[in-house]
Structure formats: C-alpha cells, structure tokens
Amino acid sequence: MAKRFTRIESGKKIAGVCTGLADYFNLDVTLVRVLFVVLVLASVGSAALAYVILWAVAPRAAHSGAAPSGAPHGPGPEPRS
C-alpha cells in the first residue's frame, strides 16, 4: 500500500499539516515547523498560502493511537488546580 499524506491532529499546533508532513517524510516535527516558518518569512507569506491549501485539501488521518514522529508520547502534564 502506498504511503499517503494526511493531516495528523494529535500533537498539532494549528491544523496538523506540519505533523503530517513530518510523518510522511519521516522527519522530526520540530524541524518541519522551523523550516516552514523560515519558508513563510523567506517567501513573504506565499508558504502560508500553501499551508492553508494543504489544510483544506489534505484529509485527516484516521486515529491510530500512536503519536507521530517528534510528538510527545503519553498523556500531557497534569492540569493545575
């Protein structure tokens, strides 16, 4: 079965696009996010348009229960009272 790009919503910051790209290319999600910010700044915002297009076009990943590469594993910190 061919690998397919999907938005992964676990570990996302905005829409899961960078998380999905990191999983698809087997990269650390932090590296993908930093590269995307650099691209947005270098392209005077054109990369932001590409992000919005990917957000609209890419399907959500089916929940697999596993955290994507670079995402923290396990439950988050305990909420403060």
The 10s digit of each residue's pLDDT in 34-81 is: 998 898 889 887 888 888 888 788 777 776 544 545 555 445 556 666
What CA–CA distance (Å, rounded) separates 49 from 64? 29
Residue whose tokens read 């305990």: 78
User: pLDDT at position 55, please?
Assistant: 78
User: pLDDT at position 40, please?
Assistant: 86
pTM of this structure: 0.62
